[in-house]
Amino acid sequence: MHIKTLHLRDFRNYSDQSLELNPGLNIFVGDNAQGKTNLLEAIYVLSLSKSYRTGRETELIKHGANQTIIHAQVQKMARLDLAVQVSLATSKKLLVNQKSTNANSFVGQLNTVLFTPDSLQLVKGSPGDRRRFLDIQICQIDAVYRTTLLKYQRVVRQRNSLLKEAQMQRSLVKQVPVWDTQLVALGSELIWRRQEILSILEEFAQRAHETISHELENLQVAYAPFFAANTQEHKQYTLAEIEQFFWSELKDRREEELRRGYTLVGPQRDDIIFLINGLDLKTFGSQGQQRTAVLAYILAELELMSREAGEYPVVLLDDVMSELDQTRRSFLLSILNRKAQTIVTTTNLASFDEKTRQEARVFRIESGRIL
Ligand SMILES: Nc1ncnc2c1ncn2[C@@H]1O[C@H](COP(=O)(O)OP(=O)(O)OP(=O)(O)O)[C@@H](O)[C@H]1O
Ligand SMILES: [Mg+2]
């Protein structure tokens, strides 16, 4: 799939900007603070219905304006018209072919993979960072997963406030089990699905990684559920096994949960483990090894989405060329150029070789205007 046209109305530092994109490579060149990341953010909002940079959506509205509209024509098997409208006065509107729709049917229409310098947090960051990366991918290809995730998060919130109140009011303790059935059922679904998707991602990532590292190193990516946090063994669990371990952890930690006043078990405590030649990449990997693994993982996301959605997603690369050496750079671009529409930002056009520049459509960004 690819974006044919994009229109930004009062989005961040853009007033009224129309744009025609190349189905292949698009390079946006501009100095700092001109609107490069803003542009990618707008496309991301069209994909996930919300921003990755802020939870306060009115920040997206250009200072002084009352509302922002992002609008794109997307070419998939069919033509698709997508729009997001955020305004100060009314709630957010999501439109598919001019018809208002909910987030669950909006997300997944335009698929994207985002790669920024922050993507290194996939390896270096917290377990929460890693889970978020994975959830963002699965939500785009599986609307049921997205619904389950939202329901589960609500159950955890409600169970947490009950556990907190029960610290003051002991009689509330007997209400906790009311939430346990849902906690285990929804939570186990999430763990099972994440584990399944991650094993597909691992296969694709291994292949990409072999190519980048010239087969010198072996990458493993494993899902580590909370109940297996202390084991070194990484296996695939069946849904029944997951539920069984979940219940037993829940029983074991009941007292501690009551004492501490929040939920201590569940997929909100899971992690993803990256191993290079059997060693934990977070602890033992060099910067270069970490970058290579993240790059391989991003390419794996691309393959996963193409497999699950039937078409390659749009790839958004924010200022990552400077993070990669020449070999990784040309490897990345050569793959992307053959497969997916790619939108890349840079402060320095010289990070691209002559051939790449010729194949690409090059745009300049100057204080919220694209030239
Ligand atoms: N709601 C808004 N209204 C007007 N301007 C905004 C708004 N939000 C952000 N900006 C402006 O957008 C500019 C930053 O844009 P952006 O983050 O896209 O820069 P960039 O080109 O990616 O820069 P860098 O190379 O430093 O990453 C800043 O000048 C900021 O003040
Ligand atoms: Mg930026």
For residue 62, the ligand 1 atom closest to its alpha carbon is: 3
Q: How far is the CA of 368 from the centre of ligand 1 (A)?
A: 8
Q: What are phi and psi of 233, to 5 degrees?
A: -80, 135
Pocket probe for ligand 1: among 16, 37, 118, the residue whose CB has the most ligand atoms within 8 Å is 37
pLDDT in tens, 308-336: 999 999 999 999 887 788 888 888 888 88
Close Cβ partners of 56 (under 8 Å, ≥ 6 residues apart): none
Rg (CA), the chain: 22
Q: Strand, helix or coil at 4?
A: strand
Answer yes or no: pTM beyond 0.85.
yes
Which of 15, 50, 2, 3 lies closest to 370, judged by CA? 15
Q: Report if residue 17 sits inside a domain.
A: no
Domain that residue 142 falls in? 120-310
Domain membership flag for residue 37:
no
Query: Does 82 fall in a domain?
Result: no
Residue 288 lies in a domain: yes
State the closest ligand 1 atom to the C-alpha of 40, by its place in the atom list counted from 1. Answer: 18
In a domain, 33, yes or no: no
Q: What is the CATH number of the domain that holds 258?
A: 1.20.1050.90
Cβ–ligand 1 distance for 63 under 6 Å, the answer: yes
Confidence (pLDDT) at 234: 81
Low-confidence stretches of the chain (pLDDT beneath 50)? none
Q: Note whether residue 243 is domain-resident.
A: yes
Instruction: Classify strands 361-366 and 25-29 as parallel, antiparallel or unpaired.
Output: parallel
CB 189 within 8 A of CB 148: yes
* Cα–Cα dist 332/357, whole Å: 14
Alpha helices in 98-238 (DSSP H): 103-106, 121-124, 127-141, 143-168, 176-212
CA 174 to centroid of ligand 1, rounded, Å: 51
- What six digits make up the tokens of 62? 């250009």
pLDDT at 329 (0 to 100): 85
Phi-psi region of 363 (alpha: psi -120 to 50; beta: other; left: phi over 0): beta
**Whether the CB of 51 sits within 6 Å of ligand 1:** no
Q: What is the pLDDT of residues 164-178, one digit of tens each?
A: 999 999 999 999 999
Structural domains of the chain, count = 1
Q: What is the pLDDT of residue 229?
A: 83
What pLDDT, on the 0 to 100 scale, is given for residue 324?
83
CA separation for the pair 35, 13 (Å, rounded): 7
Q: Which residue, judged by its Cα, is nearest atom 12 of ligand 1?
A: 13
Instruction: Using alpha carbons, list the distances in angstroms from residue 17 to 5, 39, 256, 267, 371.
Output: 11, 10, 55, 42, 10
Tokens of 203: 């296969």
Residue 9 Rama label (left phi>0; alpha psi -120 to 50; beta): beta
How far does the centroid of ligand 2 lie from the alpha carbon of residue 25, in Å?
A: 18
Question: For residue 34, is it within any domain?
Answer: no
Q: Which ligand is located closest to the Cα atom of residue 346?
A: 1
pLDDT at 187: 98
Best of 38, 86, 317, 369 to mutate for ligand 1, by most ligand atoms within 8 A of CB? Answer: 38
* pLDDT for res 232: 74
pLDDT tens track for 344-354: 999 999 989 89
How many of the other CB atoms lie within 10 Å of CB of 151? 15
Neighbours of ion ligand 2 (CB under 5 A): 36-37
Is 258 within a domain?
yes
